Chain A
């Protein structure tokens, strides 16, 4: 296996995540799609690290996992607050600015 295949795989999964981000109207589902994107990036990082013989990629992926975890924690907290206020988590309903 060469680097190219891993990178193509990473790209495909990333675009899947992108589609999810754009398509989903439920905020929670949006978070799922974000997770997918982060994981795709992780795959890419580690693949590059392996094929260039360098540890930087793995360390970077490690930190990305840490950040994703804290992001989920805070994001879900905010989501709960939003639900308590608006009783819905549909994106179209919570848009309150007059565009």
Chain B
């Protein structure tokens, strides 16, 4: 009983939030509703007894990724609303049609779904979810884990290099006068550009 209520409540909320993300013209609204949606999705995870994932969802998605997006938005000028010129009105019809088709199919597919392969890594109710995941992650999925770690490292470095300023000059290694001269040059270059 409790599950049914929770499920339907959270599903409506999630769908509502994501609809706002997709349909609104205001960037801030989109961002906020996306963050809210993420939190509601973690509710689903808790409902499904995936405690670890639920927590990770809140921490990583809502905490880190939304923060990144918020920082990214600071670069762009959103004083005016996003004007999205719809080049092709017919596009809306195509999209609607496609979505309807997909939904119909989605409703019918489970009726004919086949059974998947069972029991590679069965859930042990007695351990608790976090221990269970830890066991499988660090034994069977060790290599993908390490590779994911390397990938995160690379992404971090890439992000820094892409978005950062030029790094061939290090302020901490220059004396005060040199920093002053360097800053004057930068200002003149900026003036010339304008």
Contacts and interface: CB of A to CB of B under 8 A. Distances in A.
Q: Do A and B come from one complex?
A: yes
Nearest to B11: A9
B41 to A, nearest CB: 5
A65 B148 CA distance: 10
Given A46-B48, A54-B118, A61 B53 contact: yes
Interface in B137-194: 137, 141, 144, 148, 151-152, 154-156, 158-163
B159 A52 contact: no
A94 interface: no
B164 to A, nearest CB: 9
Chain A interface size, under 10 / 10 to 19 / 20 to 34 / 35 or more: 35 or more
Given A28-B27, A72-B69, A18 B152 contact: no
A26 B84 CA distance: 8
Interface of B: 3-4, 7, 11, 14-15, 18-19, 21-22, 27, 30-31, 34, 37-38, 41, 44-45, 48-50, 52-53, 56-57, 60-61, 64-65, 68-69, 71-73, 75-76, 82, 84-85, 87, 91, 95, 98-99, 102-103, 106-107, 109-110, 116, 118-123, 129, 132-133, 136-137, 141, 144, 148, 151-152, 154-156, 158-163
5 A-B pairs with the lowest CB-CB distances in the bound complex, closest first = A77-B162, A70-B155, A11-B106, A20-B22, A73-B159
